[in-house]
C-alpha cells in the first residue's frame, strides 16, 4: 500500500519533469527568451529540489522501517531460541518419563505377579488390599498420563517453534523488500542530484548568455544613438551652411576663411585632385577641409581625449577616403571610440589611421596603393558629427600629419 503510493508520486513527478523539459526552448536568441528560459530552469530546479526532499523523507522512512524490522527480527529470533530450548527441555522430560515408565513396566513384568501378590498379601485388611490394588492401577495410570502430558507438551512446543520460524521468514522477506526499496529510493535520489546539478549548469550558462545578450543590446543601442546623433548633426550642418562651429586649433592651420583652401601647407589640393603629390603622403579626402588640428585641445565630446592625435577633415557621410600612400592594411575593425577604422602600414615605421568611417572597403592583409578608395567618411564611434579623423604614426607615435601632407 505504502510502496504503491510512493511509486505513483515518483511517476507523477517524473512525467511532470519531462513535460517541462519539452516546453523549454533549446536556444535562447533574445533577452526575453533567455529570461524566460532562466525562470523555467529555476522552476524545474525547485520542482527537482522538492522531489529530492520527498525522496529523502522516503529514504528516512525506509531506513526507520528497516531498523524496526531488524528489531522485530532479532526479537523473533530470541523467541525461537527460547522455544527451541523449551522444546529440548520438553523432549528430555518426555524421554525421562518414557524411560521411567518403561523401567516400571519392566519391573512389574519381571517381578509382576510376586510383587503384586506381595503388595496385595501385605494388606492388613480387605480395605487395605483394595487400596493397594488401586495404588498399582494408579501408578500405571499416572505413568500413562504423564507420558501423554509430556508428549502433548513436546508437540505444542514444536508447533510454536514452527509458527515462530514462519514469522521469522516473513520478517526476512520484509527486510529484503525494505533493502530493495532503499536501493530504489537511493537510486532515484542520485538521479535527482544529477538532474539538479545539470539544471544548475544550465542556469549558469543561461545567465552568462543573458548577460552577453544584454551587453550586445546595449552596444547596439549605443551605436543607434550615435548614428542618430550623427544624422542630426549632418542635417544641422547642411541647414546652416556657414558651419562656423568647427575651428582648427592647430597653429599651422591659420586659414579659417572657408573651404578647400584651408589646408594651406599642402597647397595643390584645390584643383580637385585627391592626391596632393607634394608630401610624403597624399590627402585622404578630396577638397580637404580641416576642422580640428593636431595637438592639445578642449575635449569636444565626452569620452574623447583632450590631446588630439590626428587631424579632423570635415566631410559628409559617404565621402570617399583615399589611402595616403602604398601599403598594407594591418587593421580593419570596429572600436567603440574609433568606430569603423583602417590602419595602413607604409613601411619605414610609418602608418596612417582612418577613423569613424561609415563604410570600409578593405580587409586586413590587403595591399593598397596610394589614392585607392579604402573607406567612406562617417560618424561611427565617439563623434559629434561625420568627419574623418586622420592620424599619422611614425614608429608607433602619433605625429602631426601636416608635416607629411
Please, which residues have CB within 8 angstroms of residue 168's CB and are 6 or more apart in sequence?
73, 76, 77, 80
Please tell me the count of residues contacting Zn ion according to CB under 5 A.
2
Q: What's the min distance (Å) between Cβ of 383 and Zn ion?
A: 8
| Pick 181 or 389: Cβ nearer Zn ion | 389
Per CB under 5 A, the segment of 94-102, 157-165, 278-286, 312-320 that binds Zn ion is 312-320
What totals of helices (H) and strands (E) does the chain contain, helices first? 4, 13
Is 309 near Zn ion (CB under 5 A)?
no
Per CB under 5 A, the segment of 23-31, 197-205, 236-244, 385-393 that binds Zn ion is 385-393
CB count, 10 Å around CB of 246?
18
Q: Dihedral angle at the C-alpha atoms of 358, 364, 365, 366, nearest 10 degrees?
A: -20
Q: What's the min distance (Å) between Cβ of 281 and Zn ion?
A: 17
Q: What's the min distance (Å) between Cβ of 392 and Zn ion?
A: 13
Is 338 near Zn ion (CB under 5 A)?
no
Q: What's the min distance (Å) between Cβ of 285 and Zn ion?
A: 13
Per CB under 5 A, the segment of 28-36, 163-171, 210-218, 311-319 that binds Zn ion is 311-319
Binding mask 1-20 toward Zn ion (x if CB under 5 A, else -) reads --------------------
Per CB under 5 A, the segment of 24-32, 174-182, 357-365, 381-389 that binds Zn ion is 381-389
* CA distances, 402 to each of 87, 121, 298, 368, 369 (Å): 122, 166, 20, 22, 20
Judged by DSSP in three states, 250 sits in coil
Tell me which residue has its CB nearest to Zn ion: 389
| Pick 132 or 289: Cβ nearer Zn ion | 289
Is 391 near Zn ion (CB under 5 A)?
no
Q: What's the min distance (Å) between Cβ of 249 and Zn ion?
A: 11
Q: Which of 161, 195, 312, 391 binds Zn ion (CB under 5 A)?
A: 312
Q: What's the min distance (Å) between Cβ of 362 and Zn ion?
A: 21
Is 289 near Zn ion (CB under 5 A)?
no
Per CB under 5 A, the segment of 24-32, 39-47, 174-182, 389-397 that binds Zn ion is 389-397
| Pick 31 or 337: Cβ nearer Zn ion | 337
Q: What's the min distance (Å) between Cβ of 320 and Zn ion?
A: 18
| Pick 346 or 389: Cβ nearer Zn ion | 389
Say if strands 397-399 and 320-322 run parallel, antiparallel, or are unpaired. unpaired
Is 389 near Zn ion (CB under 5 A)?
yes
| Pick 389 or 393: Cβ nearer Zn ion | 389
Yes or no: say if 175 and 66 are a contact pair by the CB < 8 Å rule. Answer: yes
Alpha-carbon torsion (253, 255, 257, 262), positive or negative = negative
Yes or no: say if 359 and 316 are a contact pair by the CB < 8 Å rule. Answer: no
HSE, side-chain direction, 13 A CA sphere, residue 86: 17
CA-angle at 137, arms to 132 and 139, nearest 5°? 95
Is 356 near Zn ion (CB under 5 A)?
no
Q: What's the min distance (Å) between Cβ of 366 and Zn ion?
A: 24
Alpha-carbon span 76 to 222, nearest angstrom? 81
Name the residue among 304, 308, 357, 314 with its Cα closest to residue 332: 357
Binding mask 155-194 toward Zn ion (x if CB under 5 A, else -) reads ----------------------------------------
Judged by DSSP in three states, 35 sits in helix
Alpha-carbon torsion (318, 324, 326, 327), positive or negative = negative
Alpha-carbon span 353 to 398, nearest angstrom? 10
Alpha-carbon torsion (205, 210, 213, 214), positive or negative = negative
Q: What's the min distance (Å) between Cβ of 286 and Zn ion?
A: 19
| Pick 310 or 327: Cβ nearer Zn ion | 310
Binding site for Zn ion (CB under 5 A): 312, 389
Amino acid at each position: 500500500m505504502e510502496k504503491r503510493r510512493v511509486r505513483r508520486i515518483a511517476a507523477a513527478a517524473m512525467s511532470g519533469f519531462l513535460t517541462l523539459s519539452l516546453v523549454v526552448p533549446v536556444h535562447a536568441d533574445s533577452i526575453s527568451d533567455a529570461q524566460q528560459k532562466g525562470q523555467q530552469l529555476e522552476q524545474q530546479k525547485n520542482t527537482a529540489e522538492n522531489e529530492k526532499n520527498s525522496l529523502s523523507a522516503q529514504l528516512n522512512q525506509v531506513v526507520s522501517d528497516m531498523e524496526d524490522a531488524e528489531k522485530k527480527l532479532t526479537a523473533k529470533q530470541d523467541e525461537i531460541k527460547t522455544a527451541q530450548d523449551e522444546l529440548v527441555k520438553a523432549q528430555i522430560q518426555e524421554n525421562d518419563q518414557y524411560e521411567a515408565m518403561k523401567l516400571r513396566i519392566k519391573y512389574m513384568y519381571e517381578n509382576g505377579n510376586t510383587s503384586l501378590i506381595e503388595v496385595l498379601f501385605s494388606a492388613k485388611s480387605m480395605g487395605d488390599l483394595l487400596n493397594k490394588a488401586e495404588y498399582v492401577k494408579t501408578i500405571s495410570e499416572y505413568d500413562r498420563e504423564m507420558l501423554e502430558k509430556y508428549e502433548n507438551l513436546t508437540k505444542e512446543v514444536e508447533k510454536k517453534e514452527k509458527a515462530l520460524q514462519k514469522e521469522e521468514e516473513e520478517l526476512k522477506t520484509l527486510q529484503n523488500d525494505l533493502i530493495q526499496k532503499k536501493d530504489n529510493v537511493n537510486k532515484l535520489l542520485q538521479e535527482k542530484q544529477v538532474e539538479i546539478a545539470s539544471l544548475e549548469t544550465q542556469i549558469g550558462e543561461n545567465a552568462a548568455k543573458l548577460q552577453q545578450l544584454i551587453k550586445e543590446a546595449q552596444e547596439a543601442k549605443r551605436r543607434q544613438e550615435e548614428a542618430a546623433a550623427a544624422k542630426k548633426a549632418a542635417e544641422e550642418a547642411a541647414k546652416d551652411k556657414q558651419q562656423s562651429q568647427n575651428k582648427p586649433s592647430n597653429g599651422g592651420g591659420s586659414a579659417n576663411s572657408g573651404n578647400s583652401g584651408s589646408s594651406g601647407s599642402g597647397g595643390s589640393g584645390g584643383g580637385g585632385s585627391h592626391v596632393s603629390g607634394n608630401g610624403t603622403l597624399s590627402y585622404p579626402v578630396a577638397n580637404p577641409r580641416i576642422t580640428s588640428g593636431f595637438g592639445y585641445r578642449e575635449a569636444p565630446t565626452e569620452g574623447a581625449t583632450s590631446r588630439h592625435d590626428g587631424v579632423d577633415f570635415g566631410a559628409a557621410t559617404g565621402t570617399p577616403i583615399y589611402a595616403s600612400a602604398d601599403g598594407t592594411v594591418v587593421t580593419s575593425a570596429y572600436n567603440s571610440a574609433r568606430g569603423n577604422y583602417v590602419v595602413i602600414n607604409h613601411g619605414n615605421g610609418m602608418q596612417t589611421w582612418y577613423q569613424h568611417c561609415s563604410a570600409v572597403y578593405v580587409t586586413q592583409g590587403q595591399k593598397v596603393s596610394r589614392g585607392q578608395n579604402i573607406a567612406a567618411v562617417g560618424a561611427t564611434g565617439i563623434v559629434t558629427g561625420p568627419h574623418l579623423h586622420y592620424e599619422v604614426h611614425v614608429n608607433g607615435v602619433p605625429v602631426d600629419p601636416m608635416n607629411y601632407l
